[in-house]
Structure 1
């Protein structure tokens, strides 16, 4: 990946790191529908994540801006490991906020600081879906709105997921999205004091289940199943890298 040269003098030692040059990022190409690019992305980046996860590294901030592309060869690489964690660190006591909101897994929107391969898998699926449909599938302007958009696309999590997985997320009980008595009107009344009409209209529009969104795009069945298999509330049910085609 790089070459190292050393230059020794009596007073100092210099190291020269030489890296390949990539002239663009995926961010520059992800705001329009591109099925070929989407499938090349999933093929290349899933290999990169497999290597990271095999070595107990969780990137924690996979996003289009952190995918470099060589425009001549089409080679893609993952960059910016400033938020990376060891998957063996399950202390859950970090105050650090990591991840780019549109691509952040729901468990971390609810305050979980336990990072695992499923953290990166969700981001992989969110980027893949964006490339297939031409816009971010979850596009909240705050963490609260982001949760609202995830609920709008996936529906509420099952009681089993709430009890088995979400019960120990720090912020689960602070929010009312999943209460049976909490209606859409309640949500709009609470949120409207902090947002204008345009934002509320965007939230209403987001309440279209993910399956309908991808059905409307006439995607291949394998592409639909991959998105639905990755973008799940349950960490346990979420596809793993070896299961990604």
Structure 2
């Protein structure tokens, strides 16, 4: 798809350069660019994320406004958005991410201590819990989207694929939102006009992200949200958002980019066009393959917060072993790896799974005596294995919620979680290692589409299929 015929250069934006000194571009992709910048008023270093994809910008701004004040979610200081310009989000600059923590620990030949593991997990759980209390599904949780400050604070980032759910499986927002009414004056953050959105401080006061008191009731939340939506209007966009921007989500994290990082060549992020469904159905083509829940791999468009829980379980396993749990090279290979470990997916383990969109398009040979997650987590304690099993299971309804896991005895027993100040944080994002995960022939579209039924048979050299 050719880009819109307008300037994408942040350097041409008078309203931005009047308040920020752009220092360097630290990441670039087909639909976003990220710059390190200095705020002139107080010399604060920030990240300026220029988002060229309209829908992603809308979703990210909306989610970050609701989550403002959550300690484990990236801070959006401000944003600029005018009718004829790309959105520019002003985000806190975080120098590294969980991918770098894992990679450095592996490179140095050391594991993470149990106390460190517990502290990283608790911070991830707190961030996901903040999202889910507000019915926000992130849809692209992975180590590269878990940013870390120099003092060890971990924060969820890159909400460009996030959605607000009315109920599990359905989206609260219109699939084809209309553009906000723009302020014609030369004013930053025109979307944050009080007549359009309340100030983010007011969102906190109304309890959207109050960590101590908990979120407001669902009824009250959606009542306020509906009021906000009725005050906003957006033009329909006739554009394809199924872009092949393999590491865009790393760009969005406000840290230096790993655009050539082999680690993610088999672990891309992508999202197909959503819209038009009268019931507000969601697309299954979201997230990064290694962390995608089975229901998404089978093409489900009726899913909920549980897809984030599966992703979180895969991340926890990676923290424990310093290796990705299911590093698939294609959607079929991804499913094959999962089935090899957990066993065949059928009505016995997940009643209703046969109704998944692509369930009957592809079948796998019967797996006798699957080893289970224990085989993927050698030398880990039963409590650690149990924690991962609470999340990495076929039936979405059986995945433990973040708020439940925060009360797990695992986090209350010795060794206790280290203080945040005791975490070892890399100085910068690491360069890809030669011994990283190197995959070839990655197909950036779902390889489940347009298939007649397939049967997958494992051989000594891999897997073969026949129609």
Band of TM-score, shorter chain: 0.7 to 0.9
With 92-101 and 147-156 compared, the bigger mean Cα shift is at 92-101
Partner of 2:154: 76
Distance 2:345 2:282 in 1: 26
CA displacement, residues 201-236 of structure 1 (integer Å, 9 cap, x when unaligned): xxxxxx75312232x22x232211101111101112
CA displacement, residues 44-67 of structure 1 (integer Å, 9 cap, x when unaligned): 111111111111100000001111
C-alpha contact (below 8 Å) 2:293/2:310 kept by paired residues: yes
TM-score by length of 2: 0.41
CA displacement, residues 42-94 of structure 1 (integer Å, 9 cap, x when unaligned): 10111111111111100000001111101x31100011111112222524744
| 1:45 aligned onto 2:124 | yes
Distance 1:124 1:5 in 2: 29
CA displacement, residues 1-30 of structure 1 (integer Å, 9 cap, x when unaligned): 344599xxxxxxxx9965322100111122
| 1:243 aligned onto 2:404 | yes
| 1:56 aligned onto 2:135 | yes
| Structure richer in helix, relative to its length | 1
C-alpha contact (below 8 Å) 2:78/2:91 kept by paired residues: no
| 1:86 aligned onto 2:274 | no
Please state whether the residue corresponding to 1:86 is helix, strand or coil: strand
Matches within 5 A, 1:131-170: 131-162=319-350, 164-170=351-357
CA displacement, residues 134-162 of structure 1 (integer Å, 9 cap, x when unaligned): 10110110000000000011112353334
CA displacement, residues 163-191 of structure 1 (integer Å, 9 cap, x when unaligned): x23122100011112xxxx357xxxxxxx
Residue 140 to residue 16, structure 1, CA distance change in 2 (3 Å) = closer
Partner of 1:202: none
Matches within 5 A, 1:145-224: 145-162=333-350, 164-177=351-364, 182-183=365-366, 208-214=371-377, 216-217=378-379, 219-224=380-385
TM-score by length of 1: 0.76
Residue 47 to residue 68, structure 1, CA distance change in 2 (3 Å) = same
Q: Which runs of 5+ in 2 are unaligned?
A: 1-74, 81-86, 171-278, 409-467
Partner of 2:15: none
Partner of 2:100: 28
Matches within 5 A, 1:113-124: 113-124=301-312
C-alpha contact (below 8 Å) 1:4/1:17 kept by paired residues: yes
Distance 1:174 1:2 in 2: 43
Distance 1:135 1:129 in 2: 8
Please state whether the residue corresponding to 1:236 is helix, strand or coil: helix
| Structure richer in strand, relative to its length | 2
Residue 238 to residue 96, structure 1, CA distance change in 2 (3 Å) = closer
C-alpha contact (below 8 Å) 2:309/2:391 kept by paired residues: yes
Aligned residues: 207
Q: Which runs of 5+ in 1 are unaligned?
A: 7-14, 185-206
| 1:101 aligned onto 2:289 | yes
Distance 2:359 2:145 in 1: 29
Please state whether the residue corresponding to 2:155 is helix, strand or coil: strand
Partner of 1:187: none
Residue 39 to residue 168, structure 1, CA distance change in 2 (3 Å) = same
Please state whether the residue corresponding to 1:46 is helix, strand or coil: helix
Partner of 1:233: 394
Distance 2:374 2:306 in 1: 21
**Structure 1 vs Structure 2 CA RMSD:** 2.4
